[in-house]
């Protein structure tokens, strides 16, 4: 595996993911972090299970999309900071809901992504077999 190709792929897709996260944060001022994290969970589940089960993908592309795009698109630090802000504002119920929605929603989004990835892969496989 060519390390330079992998690093360039991570940098390229990371720049796109970071910019997209910024624009989603503008579009959804408070909910932006939840939106990107749930979408990221879905995307990583989808891509992982589609590629693992049905397609061979070049490692530079897998690293670029997984580590680069999804890694820069999602934000654990933003999730934590949002919770600290809510706790400092004495919004305990909102903070608890935010944590539950993020964790449970993230798990469900990853599971949905996995399910969709397997479904799409099976459909693509059926198309190849005809």
Specify binding-site residues for Na(+): 71, 74
Q: Would you state the structure tokens that stand for residue 114, as one six-digit string?
A: 């996995």
* Residue 72 to residue 104: CA distance in whole angstroms: 21
Orientation angle between helical segments 76-88 and 92-129, nearest 10 degrees: 160
| Rounded Cα distance, 54 and 49, in Å | 8
**Binding-site residue set:** 71, 74
> Residue 7: which residues within 8 A CB-CB, separation 6 or more?
none
């Amino acid at each position: 595996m060519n390390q330079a190709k992998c690093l360039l792929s991570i940098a390229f897709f990371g720049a796109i993911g970071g910019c997209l996260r910024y624009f989603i944060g503008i579009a959804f001022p408070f909910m932006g972090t939840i939106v990107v994290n749930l979408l990221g969970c879905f995307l990583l589940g989808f891509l992982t299970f589609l590629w693992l089960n049905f397609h061979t993908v070049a490692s530079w592309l897998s690293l670029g999309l997984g580590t680069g795009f999804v890694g820069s698109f999602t934000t654990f630090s933003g999730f934590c900071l949002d919770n600290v802000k809510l706790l400092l504002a004495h919004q305990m119920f909102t903070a608890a809901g935010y944590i539950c929605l993020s964790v449970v929603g993230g798990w469900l989004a990853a599971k949905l992504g996995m399910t969709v990835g397997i479904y799409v892969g099976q459909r693509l496989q059926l198309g190849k077999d005809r």
